[in-house]
Amino acid sequence: MLEKIRLPARPSLRGNHCQGCSSQFTFINRKHHCRRCGGLFCGNCTRQIMVLRGQSDSSVPICDPCRKLEEAARFVLRRGMDTRIDPGKEVQE
């Protein structure tokens, strides 16, 4: 599950476009950094907030790929690694 979620490429600090939706940054459409990966995103692409393990106890803005990674990691921590499906086995319903 974690292998299928791709993080955006690392931006330069001079990035002029959002890594999520490619909108151009302006005086009104400001740059925001994802607190997990450090990517540059617009306000619409960093609306997700989450308390990150190992950081402060307050919720911080993160990008959508990081939210998916965090949710998948938390699922694995709760359920353990034995929840992965063996690709060679048929799923019984």
Tokens (6 digits) for 11: 């931006």
pLDDT of residue 24: 92
pLDDT of residue 25: 92
pLDDT of residue 91: 47
Instruction: Give the residue extent of every domain in the chain.
Output: 15-79
pLDDT of residue 11: 53
12: how many CB neighbours lie within 10 A of its CB?
Answer: 7
In the chain, the DSSP E strands lie at 32-33, 40-41, 48-50, 60-62
Is 37 within 8 Å of 49 (Cβ atoms)?
A: no
10-residue mean pLDDT profile of the chain (93 residues): values are 51 75 91 88 89 81 89 81 55 47
pLDDT of residue 38: 86
Q: In the CATH hierarchy, which top-level class contains the domain 15-79?
A: alpha beta
